[in-house]
Amino acid sequence: MENEAVVSKNFIENIIEKDLAEGHCDSICTRFPPEPNGYLHIGHAKAILINHGLAQKYGGKFNMRFDDTNPTKEKIEFVESIKADVAWLGADWEDRLYFASEYFDKMYEGAIELIKKGKAYVSDLTADEIREYRGTLTEPGKEDPYSTRSIEENLDLFIRMKNGEFEDGSKVLRARIDMASNNINMRDPVIYRVAHMTHHSAGDKWCIYPMYDFAHPIEDAVEGITHSICTLEFEDHRPLYDWVLIELGYKKTPEDSPKQIEFAKLYLKNVVTGKRYIKKLVEEGIVDGWDDPRLVSIAALRRRGFTPESIKMFVELCGVSKANSIVDYPMLEYCIREDLKMKKPRMMAILDPIKVVIDNYPEGKVDYLEIDNNLENPELGKRQVPFTKELYIDREDFMEEPPKKYFRMFPGNEVRLMNAYLVTCNSVEKDADGNIVAIHCTYDPESKGGNAPDGRKVKGTIHWVSAEYGKKVTVRLYENIIDEDLGVYNEDGSLNLNPNSLTVLDNCIVEPALAEAKAFDSFQFVRQGFFCTDYKDSVEGQPVFNRIVSLKSSFKLPTNNA
């Protein structure tokens, strides 16, 4: 049993347990540090749930922190959307909500300390020149011609940078490390730049801003973060992370806390996550916002009807590793089906209605049939559904001239109306153009509940809604916004959009109870899939339903036969 427990742990858990055992930390503290420059997507959900889950597992703390060091792209709108997403996923930061901008004074003091130690200098090189001097993966960099400035001159220039004496791009502060390092990130990286921009929180107090690689380790240290968990692209930045913390006295060795650990990102196949692409889709009106249900932003998944539990299941199935991999979208759909199938009532909704008239059913009679909300979960109870002389069924459930092995409604065939009666189709009514406008049937009054008293069997069962009591609603069916046969991007970088990604059905008929659905309420529509009430476009008594996912899936959980 002990061996099984060890095998089940991911590599991050093994590191944390080793650090706790060796005394590198007494308890753990993790954080989620997004930059507020856009909406979060499904990949961010993995980072949120990993960080929060580790804090919970080891009885530690989880901090929420906005890395707001780049005022050129940041907005309060994004701050609020991120807070809503993280809270919805259940990652409770309690009273620990922080902003990097709260530490600007401390970062500035840290930069001054590095200058005084001879570990930082002011450079007049342009961004292009810095890139040129940095060298390549195979060639070492060249010394910055301004690196010989004295400590006094660097202090003077940096203070004047802070006081607003220099234009954007005219000067930067660089860390003095090693221009010949095998790691390009250690070749005297820029740690401060001039930017005369109004900050969403700090206002106009600052006209110099720290770079992420300098700011982030200081933020972690000040907050007492023990394990700074990030994605693999920051692996080569880890030596710089440790350098900053050691030089500023926050820790003595790389093994001390805070410790950076990298894991593989979550990539979903054939989805759009790039902020600039989503921004373009929004601006061009192709989608109706960052939360359009065809996107995989967390806000979009929530609007479509995904649940926090389904996303947690998805993240757990994907696992935590160092190896990058691409996951198929059907795995995410599998998770939401698994989460909803026992929780939600199964209701009748007719998406493409055609009228059925039961000729021998008494005029004006209403049968209130008691129907189970979910046969697999009796705890969801029962409901009363009205049955009347005129009904609607889905057009695809009737054929005038059916092929062999078609068991639904056709002339002369007896079928079961779900939970109601057995009916036999006798004739059809057509308009002047030959289109069927009504189907005429007779019913067996003794078959209430859907079973004949003489035990005769019928092969077809059809769902229905009363024409008199049913409610007309709008239903939206979604497909991937990307044409999966062509892939995400064209050669010119544009997106391969699927022209059929949204189908709007305005004449759907649903059970009367569904007309009272509230925002984010979700249901299974018999034979159609799971649907969620749209929070944006629904009004009281007139819900709009988004299809979360169809009922059928080709996805199978991988089996472990090793």
Residues 262, 264: Cα–Cα separation, whole Å: 7
Domain membership of residue 88 as a residue range: 2-102+212-265
| Mean pLDDT along residues 508-517 | 96
Residues 381 and 324 in one domain: no
Q: What pLDDT, on the 0 to 100 scale, is given for residue 5?
A: 41
pTM, 2 dp: 0.90
| Side chain identity at residue 389, one-letter code | K
Go through the chain and tell me how many residues it has: 562
- Are the C-beta atoms of residues 9 and 19 closer than 8 Å to each other? no
- Residue 558: asked if its preceding bond is cis (omega within 30°), the reply is no
Domain end, chosen from 265, 282, 302, is at 265
Do 336 and 481 reside in the same domain of the chain? Answer: yes
Q: Same domain, yes or no, for 375 and 457?
A: yes
Which pLDDT value is given to residue 1? 39
Same domain flag for 487 and 543:
yes
The encoded tokens of residue 76 equal 């309060």
Split into its structural domains, the chain has a count of 4
Q: Mark which of 409, 437, 463 sits at the end of a domain.
A: 463
Considering the domain architecture, whether residues 201 and 243 belong to the same structural domain is answered as: no
The neighbouring-strand residues paired with 353 are 394
CA distance 85 to 88: 5
Considering the domain architecture, whether residues 538 and 391 belong to the same structural domain is answered as: no
Regarding whether 274 and 328 lie in a shared domain, the answer is yes
Hey, which residues does 547 pair with through a beta bridge? 531
pLDDT digit string, tens, across residues 120-134: 999 999 999 999 999
Asked which of 247-251, 396-400, 485-489 is least confident by mean pLDDT, the reply is: 485-489
Residue 394 belongs to a domain with what CATH number? 2.40.240.10
In terms of domains, do 16 and 83 share one? yes
Say if residue 85 is in the same domain as residue 136: no
Neighbours of 454 (CB within 10 A): 8
CATH of the domain at 149: 3.90.800.10
Q: Are residues 375 and 499 in the same domain?
A: no
Name 209's bridge partners: 193
Residues 410 and 412: their CA atoms lie apart, in Å, by: 6
Same domain, yes or no, for 228 and 286? no
Judge if 260 and 270 occupy the same domain: no
- What's the CATH number where 249 sits? 3.40.50.620
Domain-ending residue, one of 435, 463, 491? 463
Mean pLDDT score, 32-49: 93
Answer yes or no: are the C-beta atoms of 143 and 180 closer than 8 Å. no
More confident residue, 374 or 487: 374
235-256: pLDDT as tens digits: 999 999 999 999 999 999 999 9
